[in-house]
Chain A
Amino acid sequence: MDLRKNTAARENVIHLARTPEEKSPETVSDNSFSSDKTETVKNLSGVSEAWVADHAKHVTRMLPGGMFVQGIFVTTDEDVFEDPNCFSKLRAILNYTYKLLNTNPYMFGNCLEISERLILHMSTSTKVLTCKSVEVGPVKSTVLKPVDWKFLPKAQQWQRLDCYFEFDDVYPVIVKKSGISVKQQFQQILESAHKTIETSVMFIDGELKNGSEALENLNKKKKPKTNVKPTQQDVLKSMQVSLFVPFENSLPETVEYLECDGSIHFSGVVSSSVFMYPKATVSEAITAVKQDIVRSLASRFTMHCDALIDDNLLPEEKVCFNEPPRRVLVPVGSLYLCDYLFPGEAPAEALLSVRELLDLQITEAEVVCDLETPADTSEFDALDRDSSSEEMLATPQEASQFMYITGICFAMLVLVISIIVHYYDSIVGVIGKLLSKSN
């Protein structure tokens, strides 16, 4: 599916996710959903930009590296591109989303290479799909460019790359009277992790690959016979990624000497699974994996801090344990997006957010939740016994509640940059569902 011929890149839209309704009851029923829809068509101007942007932010957390929220999807009976009010509203939504996603650079919410966002419109009356692109961000061009929207005839194959990135660092800290801000510590860890990961060297299946080579060629070289007849069932073997960190040689040449009264031990793994279009190059894959690890860390930290009652670790607390949510994978078609589970949460929680944020129905069995394991609290208990001091399990009470808007039916276009594959079945399914509901 060739979306844009004017740029070298093609984009693969893999999923259209409906923005949940504002202030809806906790469980969104299919019925209420359909009725809202007709209303939304009428008042596009009543849609809150913040709400849509928030949806985009939450969806970004669920995306593996290399995937981005790439635009919005509108179903109305008017032609949104002709009506200047509608169009400026859509632009406002896109720009607002762009800005919000830019607030946390470690989320990689906006794809840096592409400043254009898509608007996909389906007319409820004619059932015709129109797709246009518009520039967002600092560029002030309001020109709408037509985009060629195509459905792929069959399910796209994805090259999966997996790795476990391990952390095991001890930092000295200075505990002030006011205590330590968890958020600040996480931010520092994130910054140093980002630096480390950026400078690291990536190997695929134990070998250093040429950055300009396509991923599919790597496989062909290995087993030249298997890919002769690619069928829909032919699942590409996952590639194992390893990252090697060179030590930076630019540290200041001085001995720092400071009084500190605590230490932070940051340990554990971040599992990473990214899905690349097989024609993508090795360097694109490397960027995606690196983004994925940092994005996952940032997502966990934000979710954890959002749910904390008190950000400060007080001086009296001798040992304190912060356990951010862990990553689980949720299937979307033939690839996986991810979600995060707080300690103590069941995989069913993932189903909920998948349904709310992605508008997808999956079963609990489909959630891959053994990718990472929750921290073994016995380690902590042992420490607790040793220190015989107070402790605090800074586990948030509840996963962040997502507020839902009633409103227009927007769909987020989740795109994979320069790796294109469209997800035919899913799209058709969603659209079909929408159509049936609206009728």
Chain B
Amino acid sequence: MAEIYKLIHPAKYFNDYISRDIRPDGRKFQEQRNLKLNVDSLKTADASAVVKCGNTTVVCGITLELAIPKAEEPDVGYLITNVELPPLCSSKYRPGPPSDHAQITSNLVSDIVINSKCVDLKDLCIVPDKLVWVLYCDMVCIDNDGSLVDACIMTLMASLKTLNLPEVTYNYETEDFTVDPSITKPLTVHGLPVATSFAVYKLNQSNVILTDPSGYEEDICGGIGSNLIRLSKIDTNESTGCLYGLMYDGTLLVVGLSLELFESERNTYNQLLLNLPTEIELCGVIKFGETLTTETRLKEILQDVDITDNPLVIIINQKKDMKAHFLVHDKFEETKYETLASDELWKQFLHVRLYTTIPLSCEATIAGVKNIMQNKRKKIASGQVSFHINGTSVYLFGVASDVGLTGTSAEATIGELVDSMSPEQPKKKKHNTNSVEILPVNLILKATKDILSDKLIKTAVKMMTTQRKPAFCISMPLCIDSLAMIHRNTKLLELYTVLVEAACRSLKLVESVLIEQLGQEGIGDGAGLRLPQIFHFMPQELGHFVTRVIPKGIPDESMEKERRTLHEQLGLPIDRPIFRRTNEYVENTGGRLLNPHEAIPPQPNKGDVSTALVRGRYGYYHYMQDNFNDDGWGCAYRSMQTIFSWFRYQGYSTVDAPTHREIQQCLVDIGDKPSSFIGSKQWIGSTEVSFCLETLIGVQSRIIFANTGAEMQSYTPELMHHFRKHGSPIMIGGGVLAHTILGVEFNADTNETRYLILDPHYTGADDLSTVISKGWCGWKKSDFWNKTAHYNMCLPQTRPAV
């Protein structure tokens, strides 16, 4: 029971120990684990060592080779480190190519050894420009129980210290060399670098530092990298950020924040602002620290706040207490604030999406693009454009017209218009309270002039042809796709200026991407210019939209750096994709249902319950969809499609869910099934699902077998861990029907586990209310599993990526 308690309530379990000033393995906070070191353990290597820090065991072997040095460094040898983390050492690792963790560790070990200058690589030189030593340092982890780097450094240093280099004679005339193993001299090692890992654990708003953390402690304290960086920033009082928000009715609504990264040039927030919906403006700064003093840098930012005369300054101290202040006449006045839950927010605010495509043609130079974009913005701001709210007869006019809008009363608000457009019953609407409402708007250009206008120039049409030096031109459809966030009580009349700003913001964003492309080498002349495409993202972590312009055809992989910066700016985790193309926000309108489980009415809380659910969007695939009759045999296929859709929506893959035939073809191609399998109606199981995932999108899976349905209960911690770590849907098959598991819930009071099941056997129409009310997607108790049948589960694993 203690073991289950540890897995199901990991934080609580750990807290209980830490608050008693002791670690779960009995150590004090600053206590190291026991060390055991053995040198020259391997006979095949030129030098070797085995180290055991607690349970963490690493073997290091160094092999020697001769090589020609690099031309730019003719007297420097090579020291090449390689850390291997086989599946043997931890359940975290799968067979296959080196995991990211292994590569990161390997680089870190290499950096420590080289930068500490304990080995002078010049000592490895035999004949400059001709011959040097190569030290291949292979470290294999046999058991990984935390503080891996410490162990690697220790074993590597022990091996280096015992390494003897044989004598090499080089004949300059023949360029031949001879190695004499009988004469050796030891490698000179200066000093001894020692690595010590620490974990920082947050307990009741204070940080506890744990020396030499075990694997379990590392997991509890969270990803080692990002959290440490953040905490260190907080500690040094240096981290500041910008706050973005909008004013409504005299209230300032703070929507989002960004961390100001001082490395790049000034005013990164101005550029970032273009990625946010219109109406959201810079409204203040956030400061992680104790004092309210503002540096000049912050003052500069505060001066840029236009939306209110009294910019907001939020202070978050080390204890995570938040205080909000308005800067009124250079004095801070503390203010009260309320936190809005997202459903409450979307009840009050909605988004307007302006979408149009305008033709653009200009000279293929940076100046040409800047010029035409400025002209377009001028034209849009001149009042000549009008906006049409799609699906209505409502048109909004600019100053060039006598009236501001037509098609509805001048007093109408946006909320009223949206409500009148969807004659849904209030009951059905309740389903959507958590979702974002988006009102589509189109841009139209007034092509006629008002006869009564004073500015009317009645010059008859004429054509002027100008010739100039040959130049390169680009012409493309310029997409304007912009969001604005507005309160439902905003009058439609006021929407005009918002939409103009939205159009301009979109143009500026596209311009920056075009100019960046034109400035790049190779496509500076515009020949390789890619069409800018606009994507909207709504990361769950942020709760607001972020718009990105991505050049068409450039693979997501090559834009990782840009995305990483954005992740860092917005303070997002860097272990999963958020801004890849396939992460794009999709409106849940018609077609295949997305995340049906979100519509399940919330259950009354029954005591000590912990839940872990699928993370992110997936599509509900079931029988008979896509005009394909798979009734009775296609459930595992459909479950696999759901998993594929999850990987696609999360940005891990760009592959669409494969059809039944593609799945069968894949299994035949890898030799798992005979060719007669294609086109058949044979069932597949969880191993086939894992094969397809690996073959088609390179996703590895963990397979769990349960001998009987009754045994399922014991895997609750595993499933819980899976959803917390990976968050992907689980396919379960075996002796009986296949299903998709979307979540687990464990009640510590009753010791009961419930499963959130998505049933692929549904044959009806994609109607959310039917699916929910008939339980095709819903919580099932343990008796859902057949007590006598066996089960196997495919748990698709994710890899950290941005």
Contacts and interface: CB of A to CB of B under 8 A. Distances in A.
Is the A/B pair a real complex?
yes
Interface of A: 162-167, 170-173, 175, 180, 182, 185-186, 189, 196-197, 200-201, 203, 206-208, 240-249, 251-271, 297, 300, 313, 315, 317-327, 370-376, 380, 383, 387
B406 A206 contact: yes
A242 B448 contact: yes
Given A244-B386, A249-B356, A319 B462 contact: no
Given A251-B357, A373-B458, A260 B393 contact: no
Given A203-B406, A247-B356, 7 more contacts: A172-B361, A172-B475, A244-B395, A246-B444, A262-B466, A266-B461, A270-B460
B364 A267 contact: no
Determine chain A's interface SS by DSSP, over half rule. strand
Contacts of A318: 466-468
B368 to A, nearest CB: 11
Contacts of A244: 386, 388, 395, 444-447
Nearest to A206: B403
Interface residues of B, number: 55
A206 B469 CA distance: 45
B530 interface: yes
B465 interface: yes
Interface in B438-463: 442-452, 456-463
Contact of B406 (A208, A322, A323): A208
Interface string B392-417: 01010100011100110000000000
Contacts of B531: 253-255
B447 A200 contact: yes
Interface string B375-398: 000000000001010000101010
Contacts of A319: 464-467
Given A247-B357, A255-B529, A208 B393 contact: yes
B464 A162 contact: no
B326 to A, nearest CB: 43
A258 B356 CA distance: 24
Contacts of B456: 164
Contacts of A189: 463
Contact of B473 (A206, A248, A259): A259
From B359, B444, B461, B472, residue with most partner A Cβ within 10 Å: B461
Nearest to B387: A244
Contacts of B443: 246-247
Contacts of B451: 162-164, 240
Given A246-B444, A249-B356, A253-B531, A259 B472 contact: yes
B71 interface: no
A106 to B, nearest CB: 14
Interface of B: 356-359, 361, 364, 386, 388, 393, 395, 397, 401-403, 406-407, 442-452, 456-477, 526-527, 529-531, 552
A215 to B, nearest CB: 18
A38 B471 CA distance: 66
User: Closest 9 interchain pairs by CB?
Assistant: A251-B477, A326-B460, A268-B461, A372-B460, A262-B467, A261-B470, A244-B444, A164-B449, A255-B476
A317 B444 contact: no
6 contacts: A164-B450, A170-B361, A208-B393, A208-B407, A242-B401, A260-B471
A186 B531 CA distance: 29
B465 A269 contact: no
A269 B462 contact: no
B359 A245 contact: no
Contacts of A182: 463
Contacts of A164: 448-451, 456, 458
From B386, B402, B460, B468, residue with most partner A Cβ within 10 Å: B460
A369 B447 CA distance: 23
Contacts of B452: 240
B463 A185 contact: yes
A166 B447 contact: yes
Nearest to B514: A255
A352 B553 CA distance: 62
Contacts of B471: 259-261
A206 B459 contact: no
Contacts of A249: 356-357
Contacts of A300: 460-461
Contacts of A320: 464-465
Contact of B442 (A246, A313, A376): A246
A437 B139 CA distance: 118
A148 B5 CA distance: 99
A211 B458 CA distance: 29
Nearest to A376: B459
B775 to A, nearest CB: 42
A251 B462 contact: no
Nearest to B533: A253
Contact of A180 (B450, B465, B468): B465
Given A257-B527, A322-B465, A324-B462, A247 B470 contact: no
A246 B385 CA distance: 10
Contacts of B393: 208
Contacts of B442: 246
B520 to A, nearest CB: 14
A297 to B, nearest CB: 7
A380 B462 CA distance: 11
Contacts of A321: 462-465
A162 B469 CA distance: 42
B402 A206 contact: yes
Contact of A247 (B359, B361, B473): B359
A22 B445 CA distance: 48
A318 B471 CA distance: 15
A350 to B, nearest CB: 14
A324 B470 contact: no
A380 B464 contact: yes
B462 A322 contact: yes
From A185, A268, A380, residue with most partner B Cβ within 10 Å: A268
From B475, B526, B527, B531, residue with most partner A Cβ within 10 Å: B475
A325 B462 CA distance: 9
Nearest to B395: A208
Nearest to B532: A255
A166 B465 contact: no
Contacts of B448: 163-166, 241-243
Given A244-B395, A256-B474, A300-B461, A263 B466 contact: yes
Contacts of A383: 464, 466
B253 to A, nearest CB: 33
Nearest to B467: A262
Nearest to A296: B461
A167 to B, nearest CB: 6
A375 B459 contact: yes
A165 to B, nearest CB: 5
B361 A317 contact: no
Given A208-B406, A257-B472, A265 B445 contact: no
A182 B465 CA distance: 9
A266 to B, nearest CB: 5
Nearest to A185: B463
B460 A165 contact: no
Nearest to A318: B467
Contacts of B465: 173, 180, 185, 262-265, 313, 319-322
Contacts of A241: 448
From B364, B393, B451, B474, residue with most partner A Cβ within 10 Å: B451
A268 B461 CA distance: 4
Contacts of B460: 268-270, 300, 323-327, 372-375
Nearest to A242: B448
Contact of B477 (A240, A253, A257): A253
A267 B462 contact: yes
Nearest to A251: B477
B463 A166 contact: no
A265 B475 CA distance: 16
Nearest to B457: A269
A268 to B, nearest CB: 4
A257 B447 CA distance: 28
